[in-house]
Amino acid sequence: EVQVVESGGGLVQSGGSLRLSCAASGFTFSSHEMIWVRQAPGKGLEWVSYISSSGESITYADSVRGRFTISRDNARNSLYLQMNSLRAEDTAVYYCVRDGRTAPGTFRRFDYWGPGTLVTVSS
C-alpha cells in the first residue's frame, strides 16, 4: 500500500526553524517526483516546493524561496523540508505529495497525499 506520512510539525516562535520529514512506503520512492503543499487554517491550498526524483531539480514558491530548503534521501525513502526564518504567515498544515507519473512527458498526477503535519508560528 502506498503511503506518505509527514512528521516534525509543532509550535515555533517567529524567526525559528523546523525540519519536516515525510516517510514514503509501498512504492519505489526514487522513481517519483515529490512536492510540498500547505494549507493555512480555514484557507485554500498553496504549493510550496518541488523536487525531482533524483533531487537534482528543485523549485520553490516565491513566498518561501531563500528560507525553505527541500531535499530527499532516496536510500531512506524520505523527503524533507527545512524551514528557517519562520513567519506567522507560514502557519499551516504541510502536506507531502507524490507525483504519480513514472515517465517524463506524461501527465503529472498528484495522487498520494499524507495526512499533513501542523506548523504553528507564534509571533
Partner 1 sequence: EIVMTQSPAILSVSPGERATLSCRASQNVNSNLAWFQQSPGQAPRLLIYAASARATGIPARFSGSGSGTEFTLTISGLQSEDFALYFCLQHNNWPLSFGGGTKVEIK
Cell readout for 122 is 507564534
Residue whose C-alpha cell reads 507524490 in the numeric block: 98
Which residue's CB is nearer to partner 1, number 45 or number 88? 45
Question: Can you tell me which of 26, 73, 109, 122 binds partner 1, judged by CB under 8 A?
Answer: 109
Q: Which residues contact 55 (CB under 8 A, 6 or more apart)?
A: 71, 72, 74
**Under the criterion CB under 8 A, does residue 41 sit at the interface with partner 1?**
no
**Under the criterion CB under 8 A, does residue 118 sit at the interface with partner 1?**
no
**Under the criterion CB under 8 A, does residue 107 sit at the interface with partner 1?**
yes
Site for partner 1 in 42-81 (CB under 8 A): 44-47, 50, 59, 61-62
Which residue's CB is nearer to partner 1, number 46 or number 87? 46
Cell readout for 46 is 498553496
Q: Which residues contact 66 (CB under 8 A, 6 or more apart)?
A: none
**How far is it, in rounded angstroms, from Cα 38 to Cα 91?**
9
Residues in contact with partner 1 by the rule CB under 8 A? 35, 44-47, 50, 59, 61-62, 95, 107-111, 113-116
